[in-house]
Amino acid sequence: AQTVTQSQPEMSVQEAETVTLSCTYDTSESNYYLFWYKQPPSRQMILVIRQEAYKQQNATENRFSVNFQKAAKSFSLKISDSQLGDTAMYFCAFMKHGGIQGAQKLVFGQGTRLTINP
Amino acid sequence: GAGVSQSPRYKVAKRGQDVALRCDPISGHVSLFWYQQALGQGPEFLTYFQNEAQLDKSGLPSDRFFAERPEGSVSTLKIQRTQQEDSAVYLCASSLVLVDSGNTIYFGEGSWLTVV
């Protein structure tokens, strides 16, 4: 079974600063996907960024980037030039590669509550 | 529809009541997931459908929980004889084809269930 651990329950930074959220995971799979999701108070999960395990290059999406360390099973999210709208819960999630079995379930961490202060 | 729609958004049930939660996925989406999110926790997988076939129900916590998707579109999660520990947000998610082909999973805003 896979597990995902987020060791920072809460974080708080000033607007325009850079913040890094940590995530580690445990799996015996060699091919899988990793995700960061944002959950505002409305509770709708919004995909922030996705990383395929077979890709060595770290994924980036505008102000969001990841540091994927496969050997260490670490997947951190860096938010640059943070904005007030970034305030939300952030969840790290794992999905194993489904192959011919197709879609697989997401395994989520416990989340990090991020607050961006003006 | 434009997004994954869930109803009701809020439900208060007395302990022992049966509840039904509805999910209307994005039109044409084949894959549909249900997750349970307790307060302060990450979502936990309940069940997965591919069209009308329920391919994985390993996350359903007890036989009081039942899900269906009879025509391969709208899905209903039913909880019988609700208990206080069932209080949570129930999230529905859908994906165009097989998630493994790289399609994004889209989540609804959830149904907030409180059992009193």
Q: Are B104 and B95 in contact (CB under 8 A)?
A: yes
- Cβ of B43 within 8 Å of Cβ of A103? The answer is no
In a domain? residue B73: yes
In a domain? residue B62: yes
According to DSSP, the residues that pair with B109 across neighbouring strands are none
Tens of pLDDT, residue by residue over A45-68, are: 999 999 999 888 999 999 999 999
> What domain range includes position B53?
5-102
Residue B89 neighbours by CB under 8 Å, 6+ apart: A43, B36, B37, B110, B111, B112, B113
Domains of chain A: 3-99 (2.60.40.10)
Q: Measure in Å the smallest separation between the Cα of A115 and chain B Cα atoms.
A: 16
Tens of pLDDT, residue by residue over B15-74, are: 999 999 999 999 999 899 999 999 989 999 999 999 999 989 999 999 999 999 999 999
Among B93, B104, B103, B81, smallest CA distance to B36 is for B93
Query: Looking at the complex, does the CB of residue B108 fall below 8 Å from at least one CB of chain A?
Result: yes
In a domain? residue B96: yes
Cα–Cα distance for residue pair A38/A83, rounded to 1 Å:
14
Total domains, chain B: 1
CATH number at residue B94: 2.60.40.10
Query: Looking at the complex, does the CB of residue A95 fall below 8 Å from at least one CB of chain B?
Result: yes
Residue A101's pLDDT is 60
Contacts of A43 in chain B (CB under 8 A): 37, 89, 91, 109-110, 112
Per-residue DSSP letters for chain A? --EEE---SEEEEETT--EEE--EEE-S-SSEEEEEEEE-TT---EEEEEEETT--SPPEETTEEEEEETTTTEEEEEE-S--GGG-EEEEEEEEE--GGG-----EE---EEEEEE-
Can you tell me which residue has the tokens 């809020």? B10
- Cβ of B31 within 8 Å of Cβ of A47? The answer is no
- Cβ of B107 within 8 Å of Cβ of A95? The answer is no
